[in-house]
Amino acid sequence: MIKMSPHSENKKGSLFVVGLGPGDVDMILPKVAKVISSATDIVGYGPYVDRIKPRSNLTIHSSDNRVELERARLALELALDGKTVVVVSSGDPSVFAMASAVFEVIENGPTEFFEINVTVLPGVTAMLAASAEVGAFLGHDFCTINLSDNLKPWDVIEKRLRLAIQGDFAIALYNPRSKARPDGFKKTLSILIDEGVGDRLIAFARDVSLPSQYLSSMRIVDATPEMADMRTVVLVGSSYTRKIKRDGVKNFYIYTPRYYGE
Amino acid sequence: MIKMSPHSENKKGSLFVVGLGPGDVDMILPKVAKVISSATDIVGYGPYVDRIKPRSNLTIHSSDNRVELERARLALELALDGKTVVVVSSGDPSVFAMASAVFEVIENGPTEFFEINVTVLPGVTAMLAASAEVGAFLGHDFCTINLSDNLKPWDVIEKRLRLAIQGDFAIALYNPRSKARPDGFKKTLSILIDEGVGDRLIAFARDVSLPSQYLSSMRIVDATPEMADMRTVVLVGSSYTRKIKRDGVKNFYIYTPRYYGE
């Protein structure tokens, strides 16, 4: 057993990897806001760094999508130069965002990268913002799966989907569909129906917490592939997930109860 | 397909169900802090409401553990009386916290409960705070399982653990062990070893973000049941989860890479 002390002292620059949450500025942690306010350099994908207010002593390094390793390397090199660097992602940096890319580059990079003090700060990830917005969709055991097959084979995704259904987990699906991957989510819907759960609830949540927020829900058999895009998180219910509503009252919620079985 | 409009107008009081995050006051969302500052009544489990600063026009209703439904009912009745009520949980309210309990009471309660405007606000859940603190433990697909068998049969938990391992997910385990359930986590470790993954990493994270924070990590075969308690979240690695460290440098991180397979 090793007692952890991951943050040793006396390093060169500093690197923070932070999550900006789902979009609403009031859903950024104060701890993250403080780190951003003391940064010299911000590194991230264009739409995320666009959320950072420019100021005279701050350099913003905006990059394209799908260049995570180059972005991570730039951030580490700036930190080696003594800068205070913040890598920004939306949501939470662990959940299909920049934190792992940074550590991949550290692991495979020069020894000096280990001399940088790297701090990861969490954030509100899309699935939990979506779950809360509709009620408590993820109120019981659940699985979180990235549907992108850019970095893993499709058969791993299919296997995990089937096992998650067999375990009667609720499921959160990230990156369901993009122009480069138009068919993955179509296949996902087919797998869910093939597993016999077509009558369960599915919810699509896009831009949660922003003025452009769009939510929809239906039975899986009534869902179509084009309901999802890269800005959508998809929630799939367990056999217990339910929509509650009373006659004459418009208010409704989707939640998964805490109990299971008797 | 139903377009959602879960928040209809013209209700009686208001009920907010919020997450306070892992413990650090700088990890409470500004949106949650604002709701708390405008509340007339706070409802929650003792240690969580103790985090709320008292003020003259605020009534704090503190309750024991394991009375979630009574607590939810009290909150709904206060809201029916026109109060602005905030139900507080630690972490995120969807993740094994109060949001589902509130909807269980609404579903089974009087019609009037549907006239209350209920808003759930997310927070930073323990597993993501722990993942960030060690690096990016949950950097790839993962499952989230509550080990408490108070509200579900143990065989469901065991089945889900085995399926999660078979899918090579990383796993976050909540409520691993309590005085009333001393054996569940022992059985969990046996199941993991039985599934042949005893050489994988496991991390124990207690009181993340607080001065009392305690983190440890080891191979699963070297873990013992008493390493976990009710304030611990346990993270179990996939076959790809790794600890990185260089000779002569104390700094290390645990992360799961984004890639899988080739």
B14-124: CATH architecture: 3-Layer(aba) Sandwich (3.40)
Closest C-alpha to A138, from A171, A103, A101, A89:
A171
Residues paired with A254 in a beta bridge:
A135, A243
| CA–CA separation, A58 and A42 (whole Å) | 7
Per-residue pLDDT band at B122 (split at 50, 70, 90): very high
* Residues A220 and A198: beta-carbon distance below 8 Å: yes
Cα dihedral B122, B3, A242, B119 sign: positive
Q: Do A124 and B122 touch (CB under 8 A)?
A: yes
- Of residues B66 and B257, more confidence is placed in B257
- Of residues B136 and A246, more confidence is placed in B136
| CA–CA separation, B94 and B82 (whole Å) | 25
Q: Do A142 and B140 touch (CB under 8 A)?
A: no
Mean pLDDT computed over B39-46:
97
Q: Do B253 and A6 touch (CB under 8 A)?
A: yes
Per-residue pLDDT band at B249 (split at 50, 70, 90): low
In chain B, which residues have their Cβ closer than 8 Å to the Cβ of A249?
8, 111, 114-115
In chain B, which residues have their Cβ closer than 8 Å to the Cβ of A111?
246, 249
pLDDT truncated to tens, each residue of chain A (262 aa)?
A: 344 444 444 457 899 999 999 999 999 999 999 999 999 999 999 999 999 999 999 999 999 877 999 999 999 999 999 999 999 999 999 999 999 999 999 999 999 998 899 999 999 999 999 999 999 999 999 999 999 999 999 999 999 999 999 999 999 999 999 888 889 999 999 999 999 999 999 999 999 999 999 999 999 999 999 999 989 999 999 999 999 987 666 668 999 999 998 7
Residue with tokens 């896009």: A206
Looking at the predicted structure, is the pLDDT value of residue B190 above 70?
yes
Closest C-alpha to B17, from B36, B30, B3, B2:
B36
ipTM of the prediction:
0.94
At residue A181, the pLDDT reads 87
Q: Do A2 and B216 touch (CB under 8 A)?
A: yes
Residue A214, Cβ density class (10 Å: 0-12 exposed, 13-18 middle, ≥19 buried): middle
Nearest CA in chain B to A69: B258
In chain A, which residues have their Cβ closer than 8 Å to the Cβ of B216?
1-4
Of the candidates B120, B144, B261, the beta carbon closest to that of A156 is on B261
Could you give the dihedral angle defined by the CA atoms of residues A45, A48, A50 and A51, in that order, rounded to the nearest 10 degrees?
A: -160
Residue with tokens 């999550």: A19
| CA–CA separation, A7 and B133 (whole Å) | 9
Residue A261, Cβ density class (10 Å: 0-12 exposed, 13-18 middle, ≥19 buried): exposed
Residue with tokens 């007339």: B40
Longest Cα–Cα distance in chain B:
66
The CATH T-level fold of domain B127-255 is: 3.30.950
Nearest CA in chain B to A34: B26
Q: How far apart are the first and last CA of chain A?
A: 39
Nearest CA in chain B to A169: B160
Looking at the predicted structure, is the pLDDT value of residue B91 above 70?
yes
At residue A214, the pLDDT reads 95
Q: Tell me, rounded to whole angstroms, the distance of Cα B95 from its chain centroid.
A: 4
- Give span(s): CATH 3.40.1010.10, chain B: 14-124
At residue A252, the pLDDT reads 81
Query: What would the two tokens of residue A140 be?
Result: 């019981």
Residue with tokens 């057993």: A1
| CA–CA separation, A23 and A47 (whole Å) | 11
Task: Identify from A16, A141, A247 which residue to disrupt to test chain B contact, counting B C-beta atoms within 10 A and taking the largest count.
Answer: A141
- Compute and round to an integer the Cα radius of gyration of chain B: 20
- Digit-coded pLDDT (tens) for A48-78: 999 999 999 999 999 987 799 999 999 999 9
Nearest CA in chain A to B257: A100
- Give span(s): CATH 3.30.950.10, chain B: 127-255
In chain B, which residues have their Cβ closer than 8 Å to the Cβ of A135?
6, 99, 103, 118, 120
Per-residue pLDDT band at B182 (split at 50, 70, 90): confident
At residue A5, the pLDDT reads 44
* Residues B145 and B115: beta-carbon distance below 8 Å: no
Task: Identify from B100, B145, B236 which residue to disrupt to test chain A contact, counting A C-beta atoms within 10 A and taking the largest count.
Answer: B100
Query: What would the two tokens of residue B255 be?
Result: 């992360």
Q: Do A120 and B136 touch (CB under 8 A)?
A: yes
| CA–CA separation, A254 and B25 (whole Å) | 30
Of the candidates A99, A136, A145, the beta carbon closest to that of B139 is on A99
Per-residue pLDDT band at B207 (split at 50, 70, 90): very high
| CA–CA separation, A255 and A82 (whole Å) | 48
In chain B, which residues have their Cβ closer than 8 Å to the Cβ of A76?
none
| CA–CA separation, B94 and B122 (whole Å) | 8
At B222, the amino acid letter reads D
Pairing of strands B84-89, A170-174: unpaired
The alpha carbon of residue B195 is apart from the nearest alpha carbon of chain A, in Å, by 15
Could you give the dihedral angle defined by the CA atoms of residues A61, A65, A69 and A72, in that order, rounded to the nearest 10 degrees?
A: 30
Of the candidates A137, A153, A163, the beta carbon closest to that of B167 is on A163
